[in-house]
């Protein structure tokens, strides 16, 4: 299940991730967060749109 679908289905944005999603996702290293700087503005814009539409 994609995260966008999960957010649309619940119609809410939680600061704490769902336990099932946490179990499915391996832990990330700090370098992975900053590794792809180009994707940040798009994902930030998408997150703002999801919050604005809920």
Q: Where are the domains of the chain?
A: 3-53
d(CA 47, CA 49): 5
Question: For residue 22, what pLDDT is reported?
Answer: 58
In the chain, where does DSSP find H-type helix?
A: 3-10, 19-24, 30-35, 39-53
Residue with tokens 């996702």, as numbered in its chain: 25
The token duo for 44 is: 């930030």
Instruction: Tell me the per-residue pLDDT of 1-54, one tens digit each, with 9 for 90 and over.
Output: 455 555 555 555 555 555 655 566 666 666 655 555 555 555 666 666 777 776
CB 47 within 8 A of CB 3: no
Question: For residue 42, what pLDDT is reported?
Answer: 55
| Residue positions counted in the chain | 54
Instruction: Tell me the per-residue pLDDT of 22-35, one tens digit each, with 9 for 90 and over.
Output: 566 666 666 655 55
Question: For residue 3, what pLDDT is reported?
Answer: 54
């Amino acid at each position: 299940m994609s995260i966008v679908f999960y957010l649309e289905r619940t119609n809410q944005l939680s600061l704490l991730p769902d336990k099932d999603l946490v179990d499915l996702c391996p832990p990330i290293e700090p370098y992975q967060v900053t590794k792809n700087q180009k994707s940040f503005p798009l994902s930030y814009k998408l997150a703002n749109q999801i919050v604005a539409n809920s």
